[in-house]
Amino acid sequence: MGRVKSDYRIWILDSLGEFKPRKVPERVPVTNFFLVCTVNSAISQDLVLNPRPEDVNNFVTFSSYFYPYLIPNSQDSVNITMANFSSLLLFFAMSKTAGSILEATLKRDPHEVEFIQAVQEAVQALERVIAKNSRYINIMERLLEPERMIVFRVSWVDDRGETCVNRGFRVQFNQSMGPCRGGIRFHPSMNLSVAKFLGFEQTLKNALSPYKLGGAAGGSDFDPKGKSDNEIMRFCQSFMSEMYRYLGPDKDLPSEEMGVGTREMGYLFGQYRRLAGHFQGSFTGPRIFWSGSSLRPEATGYGLVFFAQLMLADMNKELKGLRCVVSGSGKIAMHVLEKLIAYGALPISVSDSRGYLVDEDGFDYMKISFLRDIKAQQRSLRDYSKTYARSKYYDEAKPWSERCDVAFACASQNEIDQSDAINLVNSGCRILVEGSNMPCTPEAVQILRKASVLIAPAMAAGAGGVVAGELELNHECSLMHWSPEDFESKLQEAMKQTYQRAMKAATDFGYQKESPEALVHGAVISAFLTIAQAMTDQGSI
């Protein structure tokens, strides 16, 4: 493939074999070399940079930033093997001070793609904060190095009597605000980068909530799908046999996450109780008859809907009558459907890893119960359309092209890419509520912002689980119980406080209330300033 001469442009070879140019940020340092970038072994990107006299030495500087990704190919060619090429462009688009933070992360953790993406988004949101006070650079760099990273082997015996081995993780990211709290995820994609990304996001989310806690995350690459109850129990017991020593009311409080529900938490809790020798205040998520609240499973999903209603109220609108698209079909997505129906909205979709289901009549409580039965029996969502004639299941597709007013992304990280964002804009979406952690790629975020789509960030909109866990913990310790009505009222109030805190931080730093980045940046700013103050007060630890 020959050189494509152009100033500051990336030429993308699309699936039709046509070159399409994309502008490179003008602040990019340029030098006289030629890059060939292959992303996912499918797309080739040629970048030709024409040198300026002041940039003659930038090749050395550039190579030091991205050395782990650069492989010399010839005198005028370099192959760049980077999982996320946008990291390079976003870095050069940042201010020098903000860019130095990302530079340090890239040098230290060059292959941790998920964590780097989370850092990018946070640093971008903090540019105005850092510009006002450069001392925050050092604090942010300290924050980005977790306090403790635990990686361990999990050996367990399957039903055939064979010993299986998985890897376990727990990242206790920051405890300056209090004991850690964060989820346990069981999924084949789980690795240290994902654990760090989730722990970092959880740290910010906890600091933004009314209840100040530290942040943590962890899990295993174990896949519960296709496993018997006994296999899952044996795995959970082995996992907790290693983890229990790092947990406790004043240390770390694990909660449910992807692949970990009531069953798994029960097994984990039982093993923890047996090994630790005490009962109260160590886990969030067990059933009501153990202790704690009666609304814990619904809290995150309900909180997302409460947050969307708060956003609409600022626009003198409400959810009633609005057409809503929901991705995912797990417990969060189902609880979003429930509360949308209660508010008079029209939720029309759910999805799974194989496609999505749309019901033009909208879901009701009976239909949600049917969906739950389908999922419990591990059947396909396609079976729903055999019962309801005005529904249809689409293979290998996502729901973002369906006409909607509000979208709830409740499936997985990076589920919305560039093309999905374009579909959302074209479908009429005005608000995107992030139910999963980091559901949008950086390219998708830019498209949504340019189209003035408001984004409710997961660290703010998803704070319902944090709130519920803290209320639950307080009442576990006193062996008291909330009624569902009391709990929901407290959850609504906490979500209101979270929304107001994020919006105030945004306006304090010059963002217009109606701007598409206000809530996202405001949430990060508010959380970071809270953590930074605690870290400063406690000294260099």
Residues composing the chain? 541
pLDDT in tens, 362-386: 999 999 999 999 998 989 999 999 9
Two tokens, residue 356: 């999505």
pLDDT in tens, 111-127: 899 999 999 999 999 99
- Nearest one of 452, 334, 448 to 400, comparing CA atoms: 448
Residue 168: C-alpha distances to residues 195, 236, 413, 499 (Å): 10, 11, 20, 34
Highest mean pLDDT among 9-23, 43-57, 384-398: 384-398
| pLDDT for position 123 | 93
Please tell me the pTM assigned to this model: 0.82
| pLDDT for position 20 | 46
Average pLDDT of the segment spanning 214-229 = 96
> Helix or strand or coil: residue 88?
helix
- Measure CA of the first residue to CA of the last residue in the chain; give whole Å: 52
By the 8 A CB rule, do 90 and 120 touch? yes
Helix (H) or strand (E) holding 484: helix 484-508
Give buried/exposed letters for 134-159 (b at 16+ CB in 10 A, else e).
eebbebbeebbebbebbeeebebeee
pLDDT in tens, 30-78: 332 323 333 332 223 333 333 333 333 333 344 334 433 333 333 333 3
**pLDDT, mean over the chain:** 82
**Alpha carbon distance 200, 177 (integer Å):** 13
**pLDDT range class, residue 342, cuts 50, 70, 90:** very high
**Alpha carbon distance 304, 333 (integer Å):** 10
By the 8 A CB rule, do 463 and 501 touch? no
As a dihedral over the C-alpha atoms of residue 202, residue 204, residue 205, residue 207, rounded to 10 degrees, the angle is: 120
Average pLDDT of the segment spanning 355-360 = 97
**Alpha carbon distance 326, 381 (integer Å):** 14
By the 8 A CB rule, do 503 and 522 touch? yes
Tell me phi and psi for residue 79, to 5 degrees: -90, 130
**Alpha carbon distance 473, 290 (integer Å):** 12
| pLDDT for position 370 | 97
Helix (H) or strand (E) holding 154: strand 148-157
- Radius of gyration in angstroms for the set of CA atoms belonging to the chain, rounded to a whole number: 24
pLDDT in tens, 292-314: 445 567 899 999 999 999 999 99
Q: Find how far residue 5's CA is from the centre of its chain.
A: 38
**Alpha carbon distance 100, 137 (integer Å):** 8
Average pLDDT of the segment spanning 388-413 = 96
Highest mean pLDDT among 98-112, 201-215, 249-263, 312-326: 312-326
Under DSSP, the state recorded for 174 is: E
Average pLDDT of the segment spanning 277-304 = 64
**Alpha carbon distance 506, 516 (integer Å):** 11
Highest mean pLDDT among 94-103, 131-140, 182-191: 182-191
Stronger pLDDT, 141 or 33, i.e. the higher one: 141
> Helix or strand or coil: residue 97?
helix
By the 8 A CB rule, do 240 and 266 touch? no
Stronger pLDDT, 480 or 287, i.e. the higher one: 480
Structural domains in the chain?
Answer: 147-279 (3.40.50.10860), 298-456 (3.40.50.720)
